[in-house]
């Protein structure tokens, strides 16, 4: 479980998560809400109903010992039981009917909270379902990008955006040492794959101050990197040939320059923003071409979190800059602006070693396979992590649409190495 949380806090995060969800779908028409049948997206109409079901299945019904508000909800929305391809053919409620279901579940969730402080069980389950909705809101943005839908309309003023701040070249020396990888028991919510912190040793290494930029990745493309077998491992080369990939998925050549599609608009490729929508194979190939490598997730977390201390490095920061969340000065999160910023922006978010943007802007692939930590035990949402161990790669740090309440230094994201739709790039370390 987790430490008890004020009931007002739980109400606030539930309302805010739902507001973001609805803002991402209410401007779409009926055809867009279903969309084409693709392996990497869900029908958005199905997905928002799944969120209400998730709240019921993992929180409301167990806590209240009650049945679903929607007959046959499991048959519609249980992602463990409903095959992906069948989600386009289900007799789903209309958008209005789905929103009514969502509202009914939300109202019941809010109404049952009593007193000033929730119980440990309520605190854990309410945070679980709200953060699960935050993950899906980021997936809705992936889907809008993948399908070429218009950009969402909820971004804040451009006054918070740091633009045209340029590149941030060079490495920093990180001394290494022993530290506790993962989340430690305490007051903060943690997902099952973060549990629990265990001692690891990290050798000294040199890490790039910033993620790889579009300009740096374009040099690999223009050097024939996608066609040169020596830069790809066997699985990556097989993917490249099957996908017929010649450059990142949303790039196109226009005369001498590259353009990139952002939602339904094409724009000149921003030179100093991090390369994005590259998969693990592409990142690994670039590293081989450049004489670099991807960091292990232990190296990544050490660089983001560890603080020098006499006699060891057990002191860890929750965020790269401190134990306090911060805001727009430290990181590009919460879709405050609809896209990346230059890699030199957000200097207030630097780690103690001088690495920038280790949280926010773009997810970062690591070299590590997604595996359980020692003593792993699944939480109540058993399908969250356990089915995917060994088949996915770990990403760290969050991206521009990631909710700030979700991300911290110990958070582990995980995707198959061929996925290009996520807002992922990479930073490197010296070999």
The 10s digit of each residue's pLDDT in 56-96 is 999 999 999 989 999 999 999 999 999 999 999 999 999 99
Number of independent structural domains in the chain: 2
Do 419 and 346 share a structural domain? yes
Q: Which of 369, 373, 346, 344 is nearest to 359 (CA)?
A: 346
Which range, of 145-149, 255-259, 353-357, averages the lowest pLDDT?
255-259
Which range, of 257-271, 322-336, 411-425, averages the lowest pLDDT?
322-336
Residue 297 has pLDDT above 50, yes or no: yes
**Rounded to whole angstroms, how far apart are CA atoms 202 and 312?**
12
Report the chain's mean pLDDT, rounded to a whole number: 95
| pLDDT for residue 163 | 59
Rounded to a whole number of angstroms, the distance between the first and last alpha carbons of the chain is: 41
DSSP state of 396: E
Do 244 and 312 share a structural domain? yes
CB atoms within 10 A of CB 265: 11
Q: Note if the pTM is more than 0.85.
A: yes
| pLDDT for residue 159 | 43
CB atoms within 10 A of CB 247: 18
Residue 319 in any domain: the answer is yes
Q: CATH number of the domain that 138 lies in?
A: 1.20.120.450
Residue 78 in any domain: the answer is yes
Residue 2 in any domain: the answer is no
Kindly report, residue by residue over 138-173, the tens digit of the pLDDT. 999 999 999 999 999 876 544 455 556 899 999 999
**Rounded to whole angstroms, how far apart are CA atoms 352 and 167?**
20
Backbone region of residue 255 per phi and psi (left: phi > 0; alpha: psi in -120 to 50; beta: other values): left
Do 312 and 188 share a structural domain? yes
Q: Which of 134, 111, 116, 125 is nearest to 19 (CA)?
A: 134
CB atoms within 10 A of CB 291: 9
- Burial (CB count <10 Å: 0-12, 13-18, 19+), residue 259: middle
**Rounded to whole angstroms, how far apart are CA atoms 126 and 131?**
9
| pLDDT for residue 309 | 74
Dihedrals φ, ψ of 153, to 5°?
Answer: -115, 15
Q: Which residue range is the domain that position 262 belongs to?
A: 155-431
| pLDDT for residue 198 | 96
**Rounded to whole angstroms, how far apart are CA atoms 406 and 352?**
22
Contact 34, 93 (CB under 8 A): no
Kindly report, residue by residue over 178-190, the tens digit of the pLDDT. 999 999 998 789 9
Residues 235-262, mean pLDDT to the nearest whole number: 97
Alpha carbons within 13 angstroms on the beta-carbon side of residue 388 total 17
Do 138 and 232 share a structural domain? no
Residues 361-377, mean pLDDT to the nearest whole number: 98
| pLDDT for residue 345 | 95
| pLDDT for residue 165 | 87
**Rounded to whole angstroms, how far apart are CA atoms 320 and 364?**
14
Q: Is residue 310 very low, low, confident or very high in pLDDT (cuts 50, 70, 90)?
A: low
DSSP state of 266: E
Do 364 and 260 share a structural domain? yes
CB atoms within 10 A of CB 135: 15
| pLDDT for residue 326 | 85
What's the farthest any 2 CA atoms get from each other in the chain? Answer: 64
Do 180 and 141 share a structural domain? no
Percent of the chain whose predicted confidence (pLDDT) is above 70: 96
Contact 422, 142 (CB under 8 A): yes
Residue 54 has pLDDT above 80, yes or no: yes
Residues 310-324, mean pLDDT to the nearest whole number: 83
Residue 233, both tokens: 């491992």
Residue 281 in any domain: the answer is yes
Do 182 and 53 share a structural domain? no
Residues 279-299, mean pLDDT to the nearest whole number: 98
Q: Which of 284, 314, 287 is nearest to 302 (CA)?
A: 314
| pLDDT for residue 186 | 83
| pLDDT for residue 157 | 47
Q: Which of 189, 153, 188 is nearest to 20 (CA)?
A: 153
Cis peptide bond N-terminal to 196, omega within 30? yes
Residue 287, both tokens: 């590293």
Residue 207 in any domain: the answer is yes
CA distances 156 to 148, 247, 302, 358, Å, are: 22, 32, 32, 22
Residues 251-271, mean pLDDT to the nearest whole number: 96
Q: CATH number of the domain that 374 lies in?
A: 3.90.1580.10
Do 415 and 351 share a structural domain? yes
CB atoms within 10 A of CB 381: 18
């Amino acid at each position: 479980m987790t430490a008890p949380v004020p009931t007002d806090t739980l109400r606030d995060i539930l309302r805010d998560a739902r507001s973001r969800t609805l803002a991402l779908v209410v401007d779409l028409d009926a055809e867009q809400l279903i969309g084409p049948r693709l392996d990497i997206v869900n029908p958005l109409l199905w997905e928002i109903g799944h969120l209400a079901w998730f709240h019921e299945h993992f929180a409301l019904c167990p806590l209240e010992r009650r049945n679903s508000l929607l007959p046959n909800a499991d048959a519609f929305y249980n992602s463990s039981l409903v095959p992906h391809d069948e989600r386009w053919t289900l007799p789903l409620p209309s958008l209005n009917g789905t929103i009514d279901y969502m509202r009914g579940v939300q109202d019941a969730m809010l109404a049952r909270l009593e007193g000033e402080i929730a119980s440990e069980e309520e605190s854990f389950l309410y945070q679980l379902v709200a953060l699960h909705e935050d993950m899906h809101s980021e997936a809705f943005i992936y889907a809008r990008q993948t399908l070429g839908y218009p950009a969402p309309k909820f971004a804040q003023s451009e006054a918070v955006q740091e633009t045209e701040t340029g590149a941030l070249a060079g490495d920093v020396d990180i001394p290494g040492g022993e530290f506790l990888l993962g989340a430690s028991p305490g007051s903060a919510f943690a997902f099952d794959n973060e549990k629990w912190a265990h001692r690891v040793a990290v050798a000294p290494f040199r890490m790039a101050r910033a993620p790889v930029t579009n300009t740096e990745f374009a040099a690999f493309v223009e050097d024939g990197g996608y066609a040169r077998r020596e830069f790809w491992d066997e699985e990556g080369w097989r993917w490249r040939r099957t996908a017929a990939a010649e450059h990142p998925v949303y790039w196109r050549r226009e005369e001498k320059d590259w353009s990139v599609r952002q939602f339904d608009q094409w724009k000149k490729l921003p030179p100093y923003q991090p390369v994005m929508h590259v998969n693990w194979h592409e990142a690994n190939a670039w590293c081989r071409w450049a004489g670099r490598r991807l960091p292990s997730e232990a190296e990544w977390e050490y660089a983001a979190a560890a603080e020098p201390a006499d006699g060891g490095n057990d002191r860890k920061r929750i965020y790269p800059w401190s134990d306090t969340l911060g805001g727009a000065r430290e990181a590009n999160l919460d879709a405050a602006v609809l896209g990346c910023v230059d890699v030199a922006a957000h200097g207030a978010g630097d780690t103690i070693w001088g690495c920038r943007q280790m949280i926010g802007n773009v997810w970062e692939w690591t070299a590590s396979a997604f595996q359980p930590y020692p003593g792993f035990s699944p939480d109540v949402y058993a399908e969250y992590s356990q089915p995917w161990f060994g088949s996915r790669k770990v990403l760290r740090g969050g991206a521009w649409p990631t909710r700030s309440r979700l991300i911290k230094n110990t958070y582990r994201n995980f995707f198959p190495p061929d996925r290009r739709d996520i807002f992922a790039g990479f930073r490197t370390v010296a070999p």
